[in-house]
Amino acid sequence: MKKFMNSADDFLKESLQGFGAAHQGIVNCHYDPNFITRATPTKEGKVALISGGGSGHEPMHGGLVGYGMLDAACPGFVFSSPTPDQMLAAAEKVDSGAGVLFIVKNYSGDVMNFQMAAEMMQGPNESVLTNDDVAVEDSSFTTGRRGVAATVVVEKIVGSLAEHGGSLQECKALGDKVNKNSGSMGVAFSSCTVPAAGKPNFDIGDDEMEFGVGIHGEPGRRRDKMKSAQEITNELLEAINEDLKPETNEEILLFVNGMGGTPLTELYLIYDNAKNMLDKKNIKISRSLVGNYCTSLEMQGASITLTKLDEELLKHWDSSVHTAAMRWGV
């Protein structure tokens, strides 16, 4: 294992310290329990958005804390769910009285721990469960589909509604809608190594790829031989389209997400190939996002997310945002 680290025990703490120091105008990092909040307190009457999950998927979720997106994020240990004490401490810090919306990816550890936090919380709260991964209908790791990169889209769009005065119920409904309007699928060329484990999560041959991989390297649909970028892209999009069924001339967001070990050069190449295919199908790409947003440590691979956009979603996608990882309109 080659990693920038001093000790596995201090890995997360040192990374969080660096993140907090590098973005001090945007976020504050709190420790024991660990959570990240905006540098400025939640506006009175604004619904507070809290997400979280295992670390190792950066910039998700800490990098998405800031104006127009999350109010707080709870990072667990690498690939391990955060615990209810983190969510409760974060909620206490950012709840301004309008309630808390938890945004949770559908992985069993995350679901159980957020559920417990919600049960223990005193004030009003709701949860949005993302499950955009079309690769599996019934994955073992979860009950049902996994929540992956579309979580970023949910956080952006709901974050905007909350910023503009949306109520807790309205934010929850919009979150569910964005999730339902989204589909994702990923492919991995290489494995990734959890620092504490010290060895790769799975083995994969030089000429192989895991098609439909999850964001911790969990198996997806099948193990395949390597193919051309256009073939891989087509297969990913076909799987998503089969599930999402975008109509001719429907407007969509095309989100090409890197898993940590694939260069932007290749992500843009995927974008080009995806555009070729979507153009042929007369699906209108009206917004785009390309980059490493929902990563899996150093894994080589990428995922594609499509989100069907209507006027409401477009408006909230375009509105200004100021976080460590996403910044526009400000």
Partner 1 sequence: MSVNFLIHRAKEIQAVIDANASEIEKLDQEIGDGDHIFNVQRGIKLVIELEAVIKDLPISKALNQIAMKVLSGIGGSSGALFGTLFMTMAKGKDIDNGVDYKKAIEIFADGVEAVKQRGKADVGEKTMMDVLIPVSNCLKKGVEDNKDVKEILNEAIEVAEKGMFSTKDLLATKGRASFLGERAKGHIDPGARSSQLMIKTVCESVLNS
The residues annotated as belonging to the active site are 57, 216
Residue type, 314: L
**Residue found by looking up tokens 């800031």 in the block:** 66
Q: How far is the CB of 175 from partner 1 (least distance, A)?
A: 22
Closest CA to 156 of 294, 16, 298, 22: 294
Establish if 35 lies at the interface with partner 1 (CB under 8 A).
Answer: no
Q: Which lies closer to partner 1 via its Cβ, residue 198 or residue 263?
A: 198
Establish if 115 lies at the interface with partner 1 (CB under 8 A).
Answer: yes
Q: How far is the CB of 116 from partner 1 (least distance, A)?
A: 6
Provide the Cα torsion 275, 279, 280, 282; round to 10°: 140
**Residue found by looking up tokens 């201090």 in the block:** 10
| Site size for partner 1 (CB under 8 A) | 22
Residue type, 251: E
Establish if 131 lies at the interface with partner 1 (CB under 8 A).
Answer: no
Q: How far apart are CA 242 and CA 134, in angstroms?
A: 9
Binding mask 282-301 for partner 1 (x = CB under 8 A): --------------------
Query: Phi/psi of residue 284, each to 5°?
Result: -90, 115
Binding mask 58-97 for partner 1 (x = CB under 8 A): ------------------xx--xxxxxxx-----------
Establish if 200 lies at the interface with partner 1 (CB under 8 A).
Answer: no
Establish if 8 lies at the interface with partner 1 (CB under 8 A).
Answer: no
Residue type, 193: T
Q: Which lies closer to partner 1 via its Cβ, residue 140 or residue 249?
A: 140
Q: How far apart are CA 72 and CA 70, in angstroms?
A: 5
Q: Tokens standing for 220?
A: 């997806």
Which residues contribute to the site for partner 1 (CB under 8 A)?
Answer: 33, 76-77, 80-86, 108-109, 112-113, 115-116, 140-141, 143, 197, 218-219
